[in-house]
Amino acid sequence: MNKILIVLCALLLLSCSETKEKKHSTSGTQTPVTTTVQTPLLHYTIANRYPHDELAFTEGFLFHNGVLYESTGSPDNLPQTQSFIGSVDLKTGKINKKVELDRNIYFGEGIVFLNNKVYQLTYKNKLGFYYDAKSFKKIGQFTYENEEGWGMTTDGSSLIMSDGTHQLTYLDAFTLKPSKKITITENDSFVQHLNELEYINGFIYANIWLTNNIVKIDPKTGKVVGKIDLSSLVYEVKDTHPAAAELNGIAFNPENGNVYVTGKMWPTIYELKMAE
């Protein structure tokens, strides 16, 4: 009887020892747990609404010296559209055209002001133009290596362009040749279809084509560090103007710190006050 009891106790101790070893073992089939970090949502309130030209197929949107400027494109299937650059009257929505391209040859894209010049991209011609910032008289043109031209902005020293991919190209302001490219990622995945751009307080903001989102990018790392969901504005526009196209256009007004957004053939420009 004592022998049986001793054997049972020994088996019990062995079982407990094995269980303890398995519990604390770091080898075998254990799989590490990975978590996806949620991109912070940037909140805003609508400070104002302004009329917008419903024929303007918005490609570029920015403030310069207190004036809002817009550049537009001209899709073949929308013969009423034109490719131009103009100043926007926020009271009426009327655009005072400064430059117009031949829509049979060029599809106008993003614009930016730098060093007393206005730079303009075209869509598929691999060609850009630059004009005097006051007279809008054409000064010259340049070529770029990207397959397409989409949006433009500047950090004050370089031109920065998007081409619909997950990369942004920096162009030297004097040679207009590429100086570097940055790859844009969110949770280690490429962010495709970067469109209209705006440089705001050290960060690049970008429309994502055919989405209701604007992403905030850290240009030092290429990582998306914030996101603005403008779905409510898109739904508001589509409810009354179903022919309106996608969200596109980000303009930062340094005079009041607000961000102005619109879309292609939208009836409205929205002034947004971003939360601190």
Classify residue 231 by burial, with Cβ atoms within 10 Å: 0-12, 13-18, 19+.
Answer: exposed
What pLDDT, on a 0 to 100 scale, did the predictor assign at position 89? 99
pLDDT surpassing 50 at residue 1:
no
pTM, two decimals, is 0.87
Average pLDDT over residues 245-264: 99
Q: What average pLDDT score do residues 86-102 get?
A: 99
CA distance 197 to 60: 8
- Decide if 4 is inside a domain: no
pLDDT tens digits along 201-236 = 999 999 999 999 999 999 999 999 999 999 999 999
Task: State the Cα–Cα distance between residues 271 and 252, nearest whole angstrom.
Answer: 10
93 in a domain, yes or no? yes
Residue 1 lies in a domain: no
Whether 223 is in a domain gets the answer yes
% of the chain beyond a pLDDT of 70: 87
Answer whether residue 42 is part of any domain. Answer: no
Q: Residue 121 maps to which CATH number?
A: 2.120.10.30
- DSSP string covering 4-64, please? HHHHHHHHHHHHHHHHHHHHH---SS------PPPPPBPPEEEEEEEE--TT--EEEEEEE
- Please report the pLDDT score of residue 58 as a whole number: 99
Q: Which residues form the domain of 238? A: 52-274
Question: Is residue 81 a part of any domain in this protein?
Answer: yes
Evaluate if residue 19 carries a pLDDT over 50. no
Residue 10 has pLDDT above 60, yes or no: no
pLDDT of residue 36: 75
Average pLDDT, whole number, for the chain? 91
Is 37 inside any structural domain? no
Name the token pair of 62: 């920015």
- How is residue 37 written in tokens? 């970090």
- Pick the residue with more confidence: 12 or 123? 123
- What are 127-174's pLDDT values in tens digits? 999 999 999 999 999 999 999 999 999 999 999 999 999 999 999 999
Residue 21, domain member (yes or no): no
Instruction: Using a pLDDT cut of 90, give the percent of the chain over it.
Output: 86
Count of domains observed in the chain? 1
pLDDT recorded at residue 24: 34
